[in-house]
Structure formats: structure tokens, C-alpha cells
Homo-oligomer: A and B are copies of this chain.
Amino acid sequence: MATTGTDLSRMREMNQLSIVWALRGNPPSTVTELAARAGLSRPAVDVLVQALVTDGWAEVEEPGASSSVGRPARRYRFRADAGHVLGIDVGVHKILAVLSDLEGNLVGTLRRPVDPDAPPGARLSEVDRVVDDVLGAAGMVPADVWAVTLGVTGPVDAAGRTSFSTPLPGWTAADPVAHLAARFPCPVRVENDCKLSAVAERWNGVAQDADDIVFLLAGLRTGAGLILDGTLRRGHGGAAGEIGALKAVRWLTAPDHLQSCPGIPATAAPGEAAAWVFQAARDGDREAVKAVRRYTRDLAVGVAALVLTLDPQVVVYGGGFSRSADVVLEPLRRELTKHCLRLPELRVSTLGDESVALGAVRLGLDEVDSRLLSDGLSAPTAPHR
């Protein structure tokens, strides 16, 4: 416990930060409201918020039509557009970039398909183009960005590299952090896609109330991201949640039960095959129901291992198959009941395939916040590495 002594200036810094947090995410607020929220006296808040205005963190809204009795109050608003963060989802088939202001409002989104076989170099060039376009559309340049987070499949180490297998062809040789760092002076971070989805579900999704969350990515690939005690857990080497690597857990081959179901139209693509099977199962097709049950049984072993290890409050069912959750959730629940001591809540993701990019944005915002905490707030400018 290395608590270090505090002096006046640090105290003022902390109080100013608490004003920022009282300001942000709220409608324009009066000094009195801020004082109540931050637990400070009105005069103190007054000078602090005025300092924020002169620094550029906040702006004044002169009193307009008053709605109640008494002198109308000046209101202060957090300048969410003082900075922006960028979240990028590098998938096998698509690249999705999301630009957000400091309050988490999305100010730009751009999705572009990419050749599934594209080598890392081409994929990163495509990332550059998508990023340029989404920044250009918002009238910004890379120097305006305060944090960049990139999501990829496969476990990511502390340096942002993917050493083990990943569906992205050749990606183990890529160094995405170096690539992005050459273009962005701000902090750059790479993270696993399941982990980012988990973060997104807690931020904007279906698990906002929970502190212990397992996000289950169910699709042609199966994976998991963990949030414990409210924060993303990466593990010592960044490989937390990779239970699918265990042979006894048949996550790798679980989707095959769907692909090999008799009756799938020959013309269907892999992704559509699964969707067809789910629909058939929904319609009562015996073979399809059996295939879904086999899939669920394999899925459940891994989920049970996660649940028994972590005892989460919520398991979020996400990924491509979450659209067909209605035919999967009940069998999954039954299987889990067999395996687990205490059944967590099962919820279905609603964020769709934007969850990775959203989680990336959230992680970028967290990075900004932790910078503010450690460095204090001077004038709002993009942090450097």
C-alpha cells in the first residue's frame, strides 16, 4: 500500500477532476448541482469550474428562460469535443472504425469489407484507409485523436502482438502497434476482440449492472472475454479466457455440428448454413434440432468451465449466432444446469457486430481517464506516449 503524501496542489487537481466527472455525462449543470455532486462548497466549485472554462475543458451556457422561481443559473457543459478516441475492429471480413468524443458519443462510423485472405500488410493498409476516411468525414487529422484501440481475433500480448493462432492470415507476423504508432502520436493499444466485446456489453450493452461478466462469442469462431470486479481481466500474458484451447472443450469443432446438418441447401455459405440450421430448428426440423443440441452440448462444456472458475453474475451470449439465441439459450441453460453449481444469468447481446469497436472506444476513454488521473488536467490536448 504505497499511499503517497498529498499537498495542496494535488488536492486541487483531484477536486478539479471530480468536477470534470460531475460535469461529464450530465446535461449542462449549475454550480449548485455540481457542488452537490462533487461534495464541495459552492464557491470552491465556482473557481474550479471557471478554471476549467479558461483551460478549455468546459464552456458556459448563459442563463436562458428560467423554468422556476429564483435567479436563473449559469450552466456549465463539459466540452466533449475537446478530444476524440478511435476504436477499430479488424475482422476477417470487415474493418470497422468508430470515432467517439470524450463523452462516448459516436461522431463517426465506417465499415468496409476486406478480403478474408488479405495478408497483414494489405489489411493494415486497409485499416489506414478506413481510418483516414472516418477522420476525414469528421474533419479531423490523426493528431486530434487522443487514444487508438484496435481489436483483433486471437490472444494479444502486452506488446500488442498475436503470437498464437488467429483466423487473420499471417497476422502473427504483424506488429499493429508499431504500424499505428507511426501514424498516431497518442497511445495505441491492441486487444483481443472478445475482451473488447465484454467491455462494450458492460458499457452500453446488456450487462451494465454487473461487475462479474463472461462474454461468450458464439459464431463460426468461439471465444470468451472476462470482466471481474468491474474491470477487464487480461491475464498475465493477455491470454485469459482462451478456454477453447483445451481439447476436452470442443469449441473448435462445435460449429461443425451445424455445418454438417443434413438438409442444408448446397448453395449456402458457411455463415448462412448455420443460420439455416437455426431457422430449421425453430421450425421444428428434427435433424436441425439435434444439430443445435449437439452444438450446444459442446459449447456448454467450455462455458461451464468458465462459470465454475469465475462464478460470474452474468453470461452474455454474443457473436454471430446471438441472432438465433432463441433456439440456443434454452438448451444451453439446461446443459449448464447439469454442469454448474450456481447458474448465472444468461443474457443475449444486443450490440451486434459493433461491440468490438465499441469496446475499443471504451478502452480508449479509460486510457484518457487514467492519464488525467495520473498527470492531472492541463489544457486539453492529445496525450503523447
- A304 and B233 contact, CB distance less than 8 A: no
Chain B positions within 8 Å of A21 at CB level = 1-3
Interface string of A266-309 (1 = CB under 8 A from B): 00000000000000000000000000000000000100111011
Bound CA span A158–B4, Å: 33
Which A residues, 205 to 249, have Cβ-Cβ distances below 8 Å to chain B?
210-212, 226, 228-229, 231, 233-249
Bound CA span A11–B6, Å: 7
- B212 and A242 contact, CB distance less than 8 A: no
Chain B positions within 8 Å of A2 at CB level = 21
Interface size class of A (residues with CB under 8 A): 35 or more
A114 at the interface (CB under 8 A from B): no
A359 at the interface (CB under 8 A from B): no
* Contacting residue for A18 out of B3, B18, B229, CB 8 A: B3
Bound CA span A8–B301, Å: 55
Bound CA span A311–B39, Å: 41
* Contacting residue for A311 out of B239, B305, B311, CB 8 A: B239
Which A residues, 1 to 58, have Cβ-Cβ distances below 8 Å to chain B?
1-8, 11, 14-15, 17-18, 21, 38-40, 44
Chain B positions within 8 Å of A311 at CB level = 234-240, 242
- B246 and A305 contact, CB distance less than 8 A: yes
Task: Please indicate which of the listed interface residues A238, A242, A244, A339 has the most CB atoms of chain B within 10 Å of its own CB.
Answer: A242
* Contacting residue for A309 out of B17, B18, B243, B340, CB 8 A: B243
- B18 and A14 contact, CB distance less than 8 A: no
Bound CA span A279–B237, Å: 36
Bound CA span A238–B311, Å: 7
A155 at the interface (CB under 8 A from B): yes
- B304 and A39 contact, CB distance less than 8 A: no
- A212 and B239 contact, CB distance less than 8 A: no
A100 CB → nearest B CB, Å: 17
Q: Say what secondary structure dominates the interface of chain A.
A: loop
A144 at the interface (CB under 8 A from B): no
A312 at the interface (CB under 8 A from B): yes
Chain B positions within 8 Å of A234 at CB level = 311
Bound CA span A369–B308, Å: 30
Bound CA span A373–B237, Å: 32
Chain B positions within 8 Å of A212 at CB level = 235-236
Bound CA span A324–B244, Å: 31
Q: Assuming A15-B5, A15-B6, A155-B341, is B309 touching A241 (CB within 8 A)?
A: yes
- B14 and A235 contact, CB distance less than 8 A: no
- A310 and B5 contact, CB distance less than 8 A: no
The chain B residue with its CB closest to the CB of A165 is: B341
Bound CA span A44–B5, Å: 10
A371 at the interface (CB under 8 A from B): no
* Contacting residue for A308 out of B18, B243, B344, CB 8 A: B243
Q: Assuming A236-B313, A308-B245, is B6 touching A164 (CB within 8 A)?
A: no
- B39 and A4 contact, CB distance less than 8 A: yes
A204 CB → nearest B CB, Å: 16
Given contacts A226-B309, A246-B304, A248-B301, 8 further A-B contacts (CB under 8 A): A3-B14, A164-B341, A229-B231, A236-B344, A239-B342, A245-B308, A248-B305, A309-B309
